[in-house]
Amino acid sequence: MSTPDFSDLSLNRTQPLQKQLYQALIEWIINGRLAAGSKLLSSRRMSECLNISRNTVTQVIEQLKNEGCLISKAGKGVFVSKHLPPGIVEFQNPHSLNKEKFRDNSLPRLSKFSEFLKSRPRTISRWPTLLPFSPGVPDLKAFPFSIWNKIYRQHQDRIPISGYGDPTGYLPLRERLAEYLLVSRGVRCTSDQIIITNGRQEALNICAQTILNFGDSVLMENPGFRGARFAFNSMNARINLIKLKRNHLDIDQILNDDLNAKILYTTPNYQHPMGGVIPPDDRNKLLDWAENSKCWILEDEASSSFSFQEKPQAALQGMRENTPVIFIGSFNRVLIPSLRLGYLVVPKSVASSFTDTKSVLSGPSTLLYQAILADFMDEGHFVRHIRRMQKNYQKKWDHLCELIRFWLEPSVELVTSSVAMYVVILTPMYDDTRLSEKLIQRGFGSAPLSLSDAREKKISGLVLGCANTTRLQREQLVQYLADILKK
């Protein structure tokens, strides 16, 4: 355990040095700066740091040892006692608790946004854990770590990628990504339209900071991705909720209500979390409306890489030239979450503005992982991995849905999805937050559906990730849920 080097401790040379050092050490022990069990500097090192005699230091250490605050270990040194003498905290600072309470109450107020964040249940984290059924966690056991590590070793000592790099991202990765998005999603872009981000959430934050002024209007599907709502709330945006139709964004509501906004946020190829897909006719209506209304569309496809039930629709971004669409994607759910890599595809004419925001908010993303990923894609491993996982996840999805239909219906309603990483069930008669907490206690992850709903009267259900599960775990989860729902 590291110990302070005392370089910031100032002693008044006109006052008794021994008394000052004693009081300073006592204070540091009480407030935890000298943690229990930590090793003190040697008396020689301490005297050099403080520029006082070693004899003064030795006398203070001996006094604290006699009082039980420090202990000596033969051949190892002097350590802070793990069991301080009774009453020493109260004796040295009897009003410390009251002073701490006074300091808390007298601190300046924080933002309304921070209060908004505090309102969410503290037992349910927005960031998925590695528990089975945690949404957004891929099958990490199936990831080709041997190939990844081989590429890692090829790059780890490269000087050119050891600096900060370009805020837009590593050029070879952006080039590979532009090629892949064109083939897989019909996204039409060049490498200079792509900005590599620290995951999906930063991509949303960059969009909110670059497009919105405080108080601007935003249209957002509901239920919807909480991370987007947080990004818009950070700009004090007025969020208008758009209902779902057949589990996808209701375009007719936007047209019939003659709505206007600076941003419309949607997950068109896998509505998060309900799984619907916007049909082609509605996509064209949406693009017409956006162009006429001068509204940016944020097309979030971070969760749609493993679509299997319906023929994938082309991305909104690539349906027309010069559309006001910003495409958002992520590698975290596709590969491994610890990568923390996502991306934005923006129109060429405004790419520099989004890059400026990225540069100010966080600077360049880590070049090493970008270089590894570029080679991973260039050598074909990325596409092969996605194909393997599509088959892998569909088998797991089918099995979990079969178990739910047999054991849990009609107590719950299974929601038809288009992506094999998730299963959504509605639990209208139950508190989904409480159900999720019970699952966590049993070692199972999940996400309460109500946390995705911004309305006062919220939908109740669970989002279950099936990618990071075994057959036995799926059977155990459904049986446990069946037992809970019977009570």
For residue 30, give both structure tokens.
């009480």
- Residue 434, pLDDT score: 93
- Average of per-residue pLDDT across 233-244: 95
Interacting residues of 296 by C-beta distance below 8 A, sequence separation 6+ = 207, 211, 262, 263, 264, 290, 324, 325, 326
**CA distance linking residue 481 with residue 400, whole number of Å:** 12
Interacting residues of 43 by C-beta distance below 8 A, sequence separation 6+ = 54, 57, 58, 61
- Residue 102, pLDDT score: 47
- Average of per-residue pLDDT across 413-431: 88
What's the whole-model pTM score? 0.82
Spatial contact of 262 and 212, defined as CB atoms under 8 Å apart: yes
**CA distance linking residue 97 with residue 121, whole number of Å:** 28
Spatial contact of 455 and 463, defined as CB atoms under 8 Å apart: no
- Residue 114, pLDDT score: 81
Q: If pLDDT is split at 50, 70 and 90, which confidence band does 471 have?
A: very high
Edge-first strand listing for the sheet containing 447-448: 413-415, 422-426, 461-465, 447-448
Q: Comparing 5-9, 177-181, 199-203, 349-353, which segment has the lowest mean pLDDT?
A: 5-9
DSSP conformation letters of 296-312:
EEEEE-TT-TTB-SSPP
- Average of per-residue pLDDT across 272-291: 94
Which residues partner with 275 through β-bridges?
Answer: none
Question: Is the per-residue pLDDT at 354 higher than 70?
Answer: yes
For 32-185, where are the alpha helices, taking DSSP H only? 43-50, 54-66, 88-92, 96-106, 112-118, 145-155, 171-185
- Residue 310, pLDDT score: 54
Closest-CA residue to 27 (of 56, 76, 60)? 60
Q: If pLDDT is split at 50, 70 and 90, which confidence band does 9 have?
A: confident
Q: If pLDDT is split at 50, 70 and 90, which confidence band does 309 have?
A: low
- Residue 34, pLDDT score: 87
- Average of per-residue pLDDT across 305-325: 81
- Residue 125, pLDDT score: 62
- Average of per-residue pLDDT across 87-94: 52
Question: Is the per-residue pLDDT at 470 higher than 60?
Answer: yes
The structural domains of the chain, ordered by start, are: 17-102 (1.10.10.10), 121-137+384-486 (3.90.1150.10), 146-383 (3.40.640.10)
Q: If pLDDT is split at 50, 70 and 90, which confidence band does 96 have?
A: very low
**Mean pLDDT over each residue of the chain, to the nearest integer:** 90
Question: Is the per-residue pLDDT at 90 higher than 70?
Answer: no
Of 422 and 384, the structure prediction assigns the larger pLDDT to: 384
* Best-predicted range by mean pLDDT (59-68, 191-200, 386-395): 191-200
Q: If pLDDT is split at 50, 70 and 90, which confidence band does 87 have?
A: low
Interacting residues of 147 by C-beta distance below 8 A, sequence separation 6+ = 376, 381
Question: Is the per-residue pLDDT at 94 higher than 50?
Answer: no
- Residue 97, pLDDT score: 45
- Residue 308, pLDDT score: 62
For 243-380, where are the alpha helices, taking DSSP H only? 251-256, 280-293, 351-361, 367-378
Q: Comparing 13-22, 92-101, 410-419, 469-478, which segment has the lowest mean pLDDT?
A: 92-101
- Residue 417, pLDDT score: 73
